[in-house]
C-alpha cells in the first residue's frame, strides 16, 4: 500500500513532483523515490513496506533491462503463484509482488490484468516507446486520479497531490450540486474538482505523444454470466466456503503484523471464523473496534461476544464528541472530498490505534452486503440506497434554485434481468462501494496502515451474483448463504443479529454537544464566496427544525459541516 505520482509530457519539469510526494507522504513513510526520463516523464512513489521489506523492493522499480519502470499502489495477493509461473521467463531479484507485477506485464502486456487477484493502481513507463500504461483494480479499491493539462498528463493517488503540482483548486459545481440534491458522490470517472478525473474501476489508461486513451478491461456482467449455473444449495455452500477460505488466506500474505477491524455483526464474525479455520495462532492477532459510550448505538456488547469465541486481544477505541471538532478537519483534509460523517471519524481512530501498536495491515468485512443482498432495500426493492431511513435525507430547499438546476439525476445501468441484482450492481460500481472504498482508503492511509477487504475478492463477488435470489434472501433477511456457511462456526445469536444502519450518535451530537460547532460552519458558509449556492433563509429554517427535533436524518446537517470544512475553513 503506497502512493504514486507522475507527470508525463515534454514540460513535466514545470510541475512540482517533490511537493506532490510530500503531500501524500502519509501513504508511504518508509521510502520516497523518484525517476526521471529527461524531457518525457517523471514518476514518484511513497512506499509503505508490506511485502519484501528490503530496499531492493523500493520504487520506482525497474526491470533488469532498465526499459520499464513501475510505480505501484496495492497488493497482488496471488503473486507467489504468478512468480512460479514466470520463473523460467524472468530473473527475479526480489521477493516483492511489485517485481512480479512488472514481470507479468512485460510478458503478457495488458492481458496480465485478468491474471491479477488483488487491489492495485499502478503505472508503467516504457522508456523505449515513450508510453505510459496505467490500470486500476476491478472494484477500484485503490485510487488513481489524473488530469490532462496543456500537453501533460498528471496523475496521483490523492487529489491533493495534483493540486500541489500547481493545478488550481476549482470546484466541480455539477458534482457538488448532485451531492446536496440527491447525495451523489459523482460517477466513477468524476471528482468534486474541476478537470480532475478518476480512472474508473476495472479500466486501464494509455498515454503516448499527447494522446490519452482509456478502456474498460474488466467486464463484470460477462464474468457473472460465465459462472457455472449452480442450482443445488448444498453445492453452492461448499463452493462459497472454499472461495471464502482461500480469499482470507491470500490476504494474510504479509511480512508485517496483521490485525482485524471488528463490528458486532455477521460479517466480522464470518471473517474471524474463516481466519480461525486455517490460520495458525489466530488468537494472537489484535482486533480493533470503536464505541461512543452510547448504548443505543454501540456494538461493543456484540463485539465482545464474538471475540470471546476466539480470544483475540480486543482494542476498544472510544470516540467522544469533543474530539469531532479537530478530527473532522483532519479527516476532511485527508479525504479531499466529502465523506460519510462521524462514523468515518470513529473508523479512522481504529487505524490510528493500530498504527500506534505497530500494526500495518488490517482486515475488514467490507463488501458482503452488496454481493449477498444484505441491505433492507434489496428486500423491499424500493430503489433507495439508504439503509434504515424513511424520510429523505436531502434538503434541496437549502440551495439556491440556480444551483439546484446544475445537478443531474444519475441513471445507472440495469444489465441483469433481476431487480435485486441490478440494485446490487448499482451499489457495487456506482454508489455504496465506491464511496466506502474512498472513505476507507483515506482514513487507513492517513495513519500509514493498509486495509484489506477479503470479501471483495472478485471470485467471491462474481459467484455470489450468479446465484439464485432465494440463496441470498430468506425470511426477510439477506446474506442467507453466508449465515448457513458459517453457522457451525458462529453462534446463532450473531448470525441472526439484525443489521444496524446507525453506528454513532451523530444525530444527537450534532444537535446537542456539537451545535455550536455546526452553527459556526453554517455562519462560515453564509459569509463565504459560495454563499450564492445557498438559500440562507431555508438553511436557517432547516437548522432550526433540526434543533427542534426534526432529526430522523442528520445527513443534510453533516453536508453543511463537511462543505464548510473543505471549501471555506
Instruction: Please state the residue numbers annotated as binding site for L-glutamine.
Output: 97
Which of 1, 2, 199, 274 is labelled catalytic?
2
Cα 388 to Cα 289, 370, 391, 393, 498: the distances in Å are: 22, 16, 10, 11, 11
Q: Give the cell for residue 540.
A: 436557517
Report the alpha-carbon distance of residue 316 to residue 314 in Å, rounded: 6
Report the alpha-carbon distance of residue 363 to residue 259 in Å, rounded: 6
DSSP run (H or E) holding 463: helix 458-466
Q: Which position has the grid cell 485527508? A: 334
Report the alpha-carbon distance of residue 188 to residue 186 in Å, rounded: 7
Helices 555-567 + 515-526 axis angle, to 10: 60
2 is catalytic: yes
Report the alpha-carbon distance of residue 517 to residue 3 in Å, rounded: 33
Annotated binding site: 97
CA dihedral 377, 380, 384, 387 (to 10 degrees): -30
Q: Identify the sign of the CA torsion 132, 138, 143, 149.
A: positive
Report the alpha-carbon distance of residue 241 to residue 182 in Å, rounded: 38
Helices 555-567 + 536-547 axis angle, to 10: 130
For 144, residues 6+ apart whose C-beta sits below 8 A from its C-beta are 4, 121, 134, 136, 155, 157, 198, 199, 205
Q: Which residues are catalytic?
A: 2
Amino acid at each position: 500500500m503506497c502512493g504514486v505520482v507522475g507527470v508525463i509530457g515534454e514540460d513535466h519539469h514545470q510541475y512540482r513532483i517533490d511537493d506532490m510526494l510530500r503531500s501524500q507522504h502519509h501513504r508511504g513513510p518508509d521510502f520516497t523515490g523518484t525517476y526521471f526520463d529527461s524531457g518525457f516523464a517523471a514518476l514518484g512513489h511513497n512506499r509503505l513496506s508490506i511485502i519484501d521489506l528490503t530496499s531492493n523492493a523500493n520504487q520506482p522499480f525497474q526491470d533488469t533491462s532498465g526499459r520499464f519502470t513501475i510505480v505501484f499502489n496495492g497488493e497482488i495477493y496471488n503473486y507467489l503463484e504468478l512468480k512460479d509461473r514466470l520463473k523460467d521467463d524472468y530473473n527475479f531479484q526480489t521477493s516483492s509482488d511489485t517485481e512480479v507485477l512488472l514481470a507479468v506485464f512485460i510478458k503478457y502486456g495488458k492481458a496480465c490484468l485478468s491474471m491479477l487477484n488483488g487491489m492495485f493502481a499502478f503505472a508503467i513507463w516504457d522508456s523505449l516507446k515513450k508510453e505510459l500504461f496505467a490500470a486500476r483494480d476491478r472494484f477500484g479499491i485503490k485510487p488513481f486520479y489524473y488530469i490532462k493539462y496543456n500537453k501533460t498528463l498528471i496523475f496521483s493517488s490523492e487529489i491533493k497531490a495534483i493540486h500541489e503540482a500547481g493545478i488550481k483548486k476549482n470546484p466541480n459545481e455539477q458534482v457538488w450540486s448532485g451531492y446536496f440534491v440527491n447525495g451523489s458522490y459523482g460517477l466513477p470517472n468524476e471528482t468534486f474538482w474541476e478537470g480532475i478525473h478518476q480512472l474508473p474501476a476495472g479500466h486501464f489508461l494509455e498515454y503516448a505523444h499527447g494522446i490519452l486513451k482509456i478502456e474498460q478491461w474488466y467486464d463484470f456482467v460477462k464474468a457473472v454470466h460465465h459462472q457455472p449455473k449452480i442450482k443445488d444449495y448444498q453445492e453452492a455452500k461448499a463452493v462459497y466456503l472454499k472461495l471464502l477460505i482461500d480469499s482470507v488466506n491470500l490476504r494474510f500474505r504479509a511480512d508485517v503484523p496483521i490485525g482485524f477491524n471488528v463490528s458486532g455483526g455477521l460479517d466480522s464474525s464470518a471473517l474471524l471464523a474463516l481466519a480461525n479455520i486455517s490460520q495458525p495462532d489466530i488468537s494472537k492477532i489484535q482486533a480493533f473496534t470503536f464505541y461512543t459510550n452510547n448504548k443505543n448505538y454501540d456494538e461493543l456488547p456484540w463485539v465482545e461476544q464474538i471475540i470471546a469465541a476466539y480470544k483475540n486481544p480486543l482494542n476498544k477505541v472510544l470516540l467522544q464528541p469533543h474530539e469531532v471538532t479537530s478530527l473532522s478537519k483532519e479527516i476532511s483534509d485527508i479525504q479531499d472530498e466529502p465523506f460519510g460523517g462521524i462514523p468515518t471519524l470513529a473508523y479512522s481512530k481504529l487505524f490510528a490505534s493500530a498504527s500506534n501498536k505497530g500494526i500495518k495491515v488490517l482486515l475488514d468485512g467490507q463488501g458482503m452486503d452488496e454481493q449477498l443482498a444484505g441491505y433492507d432495500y434489496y428486500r423491499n426493492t424500493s430503489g433507495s440506497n439508504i439503509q434504515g431511513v424513511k424520510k429523505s435525507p436531502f434538503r434541496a430547499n437549502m440551495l439556491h434554485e440556480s444551483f439546484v438546476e446544475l445537478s443531474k439525476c444519475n441513471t445507472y445501468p440495469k444489465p441483469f434481468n433481476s431487480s435485486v441484482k441490478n440494485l446490487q450492481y448499482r451499489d457495487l460500481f456506482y454508489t455504496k462501494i465506491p464511496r466506502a472504498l474512498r472513505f476507507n482508503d483515506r482514513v487507513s492511509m492517513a495513519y500509514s496502515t493498509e486495509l484489506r477487504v477479503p470479501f471483495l475478492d472478485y471470485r467471491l463477488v462474481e459467484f455470489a451474483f450468479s446465484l439464485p435470489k432465494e440463496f441470498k434472501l430468506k425470511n426477510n433477511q439477506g446474506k442467507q448463504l453466508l449465515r448457513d456457511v458459517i453457522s457451525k462456526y458462529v453462534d446463532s445469536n450473531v448470525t441472526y443479529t439484525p443489521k444496524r444502519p446507525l453506528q454513532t450518535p451523530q444525530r444527537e451530537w450534532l444537535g446537542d454537544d456539537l451545535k455550536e460547532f455546526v452553527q459556526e460552519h453554517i455562519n462560515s458558509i453564509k459569509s463565504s464566496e459560495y454563499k450564492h449556492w445557498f438559500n440562507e433563509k431555508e438553511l436557517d429554517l432547516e437548522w432550526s427544525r433540526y434543533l427542534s427535533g426534526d432529526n430522523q436524518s442528520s445527513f443534510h446537517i453533516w453536508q453543511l459541516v463537511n462543505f464548510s470544512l473543505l471549501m471555506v475553513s
